[in-house]
Amino acid sequence: MVWVIAIALVLESIGIKVTLLLAGSAALLVGIGLGLQQTFNDVISGIILLSERSIEVGDVLEIDSDVVIIESIGLRTSKAMNRDDISIIIPNSLITTSKVINWSHQSHQTRFKINVGVAYGSDVDFVIKILEESAFEHSEIQNKKLIEARLLNFGSSSLDFQLLFFSANIFRIGKMKSDIRRKINKNFTKNNIVIAFPQIDIHLKSNSSEKSK
């Protein structure tokens, strides 16, 4: 501020009208302001992130359906890595203005779900038992007493079940879910439980006049 005032006084003293200079450069300043609007937005968002510390390095976030782990937080952008080990540069404004799920904000473990549908006529209690045993065998599941399988819904073509379990392996949960699904499929096949697939029943009605003929 002091430098700006000093330069303005010097220009006035040598006969240059500062007001005319500002008026002439108004359009240029507006263009620069519009061009730097997003940059200023990112910088302000970076200051908010660094001061509030609601998101820290090492947190696992879900942004726009993409799960990433934060590696660094800068003034304008943050660096993250997704589950494919691809480095992503994220504008800070995207984090502060979008709906972001912080998987590691409150607890070191998170509850996950696996949905599966079986054919109608299956023994519900037995299916629940198989699901819970399939999850119990996985070594990375925590609080195994909290493993729970539920009859979720009566679907159009299946009895829909949901398996719930806790794990600290938040970032690589896809591999863990795959292992459990493979175990479920193996146990279902072993116990003759059929995983349902979409079906349509078609009922044909004959015309009464055609019957008389």
Q: Where are the domains of the chain?
A: 2-35, 38-102, 110-190
Check residues 18 and 99 and name the one with the higher pLDDT. 99
Q: Which pairing describes strands 159-167 and 148-154: parallel, antiparallel, or unpaired?
A: antiparallel
- Tell me the pLDDT of the chain averaged across its residues: 84
Highest mean pLDDT range out of 15-29, 87-101, 119-133?
A: 119-133
Predicted pLDDT of residue 79: 93
Highest mean pLDDT range out of 17-31, 40-54, 139-153, 188-202?
A: 139-153
Q: Is the pTM of this model over 0.85?
A: no
Check residues 212 and 169 and name the one with the higher pLDDT. 169
CATH classification (class only), 38-102: mainly beta
Residue that is written with structure tokens 């779900």 in the block: 113
Domain 110-190 fold is Alpha-Beta Plaits (3.30.70)
* 69-95: average pLDDT: 89
Task: Give strand ranges (E) for the chain.
Answer: 60-63, 66-73, 77-82, 87-91, 100-102, 110-118, 141-142, 148-154, 159-167
Q: Among 1-5, 52-56, 169-173, whose mean pLDDT is lowest?
A: 1-5
> Please, which pLDDT band fits residue 116 given cuts at 50, 70 and 90?
very high
For residue 180, the 8-state DSSP code is: H
Residue 211 has pLDDT above 60, yes or no: no
Residue that is written with structure tokens 């607890």 in the block: 107
Residue 105 has pLDDT above 90, yes or no: no
Tens of pLDDT along 41-56? 888 888 888 888 888 8
What is the SS3 string spanning 192-203?
CCCECCCCCCCC
